[in-house]
Structure 1
């Protein structure tokens, strides 16, 4: 579940890049901070991810695991590969196809997040922040914590001249609730069913 979730997440990033209708909230944050310091995305992606990993290590190191490592190394490769495949198959997309690609990517990104959250083998540093707020400090249910963290990222990015798209707004407002739905209705039942089979065996 962890591997499939991370792989699917990377594929969906490539689909969102091809749709070109707005980046996800964390990418928005990183790009905005990079703009502030007149630097590159890759530089501040590493800096911000390292900072978040440090916070997660201090607050709830349980969320750092093999899936965290898989996420670091596999997501980018999967995204670049998917983007390349789509570029070769569909050199030019009209607005309708771009919207369909964006919606598909957002839905399956939420499914991917639910899979590797539930696998409980570690999550990305950014994903861990909302999980810690919801399950360690019990501030709010996860879906609302995720809306808040995503919205903060979008606001920071917008403040530092990142161009927002409809995809950015949709992910900021709906990714948390949709991920929670997939987690409760698909990922957790799948894991529990597997555990029941192992117990019977």
Structure 2
């Protein structure tokens, strides 16, 4: 499979297509998180933390997502990471979409529907990740933390991501977040699914744009 170039590119290049794809991908990502929370079978590590925060603070789930994202962005400062428009919209759109979808999607208590929401949520999460990451408009807060730590420490991205997610999962579990079969499914499936989808949805500059390199 061909390698996908995910280096950030300035928003001036193909802005309508890329911004539309970015907003759509982030909205789908928020919807996928809402589906996983309503399935009740286990969440991704960051979602476990956000759910735990919701339980101890009384925040809406979307507010917990926003608070966590802002805290992570503060950790970018010593890492000298630079946010892009995709970073800012990541915080705003996902946090709002999560609450909107949860408002119309009730908790599920029948196993069949729980499984449908779990599998659908994981699949949609992978698609949404590929769609918004593929716009090359700046990493989300958590992705930027991962790449920034890897750059500063010299450790592999895989090692840094594993360390972050194990830490986040443990903290979220102690706060009362839901850990279960969905957590395992997410961990096993999200990487391969996203990798398979990225080449199919990632933005690629047209030939006449190739000479216009670098962010604007």
Could you tell me the TM-score, scaled by structure 1's length?
Answer: 0.73
Distance between the aligned counterparts of 1:116 and 1:70, measured in 2?
10
Distance 1:146 1:176 in 2: 12
Partners of 2:42 and 2:182 within 8 A in 1: yes
More helix per residue: 1
Residue 193 of structure 2 is aligned to residue 164 of structure 1: no
Going from structure 1 to structure 2, the CA distance change for 1:191 and 1:25 (only over 3 Å counts) comes to same
Residues paired across the two proteins, number: 189
Matched with 2:30 is 10
Alignment CA distance shift 1:115-1:58 (3 Å):
farther
Q: Deviation digits for residues 60-96 of structure 1, max 9, x if unmatched?
A: 433x122222222221332233233434xxx866212
Aligned equivalents of 2:111 and 2:45: distance in 1? 22
Q: CA RMSD in A?
A: 3.2
Q: Choose which of 117, 120, 138 in structure 2 pairs with 1:122.
A: 138
Where does 1:1-201 land on structure 2 (aligned, <5 Å)? 1-32=21-52, 39-41=57-59, 48-62=68-82, 64-87=83-106, 94-133=110-149, 139-142=155-158, 145-183=160-198, 185-187=199-201, 190-192=202-204, 194-196=205-207
Report the TM-score when normalising by structure 2: 0.69
* 1:100-142 Cα deviation digits (max 9, x unpaired): 2211111221221222223222233123222334567663255
Task: Give the direction of change, closer, same or farther, for the CA distance of 1:173–1:56 in structure 2 (3 Å limit).
Answer: farther
**Structure 1's 81 and 157: CA in aligned 2 closer, same or farther, altered over 3 A?**
closer
Q: Work out whether residues 2 and 67 of structure 1, in 8 Å CA contact, stay in contact via their aligned partners in 2.
A: yes
Is contact 2:50–2:177 with CA below 8 Å preserved after alignment? no
Structure 1, unpaired ranges of 5+: none
Instruction: State whether residues 108 and 114 of structure 2, in contact with CA within 8 Å, keep that contact through their aligned partners in structure 1.
Output: no
Give distance in 2, aligned partners of 1:39 and 1:101. Answer: 26
For structure 2, the residue ranges without an aligned partner over 5 or more in a row are 1-20, 211-216
> 2 CA distance for matches of 1:174 and 1:113?
13
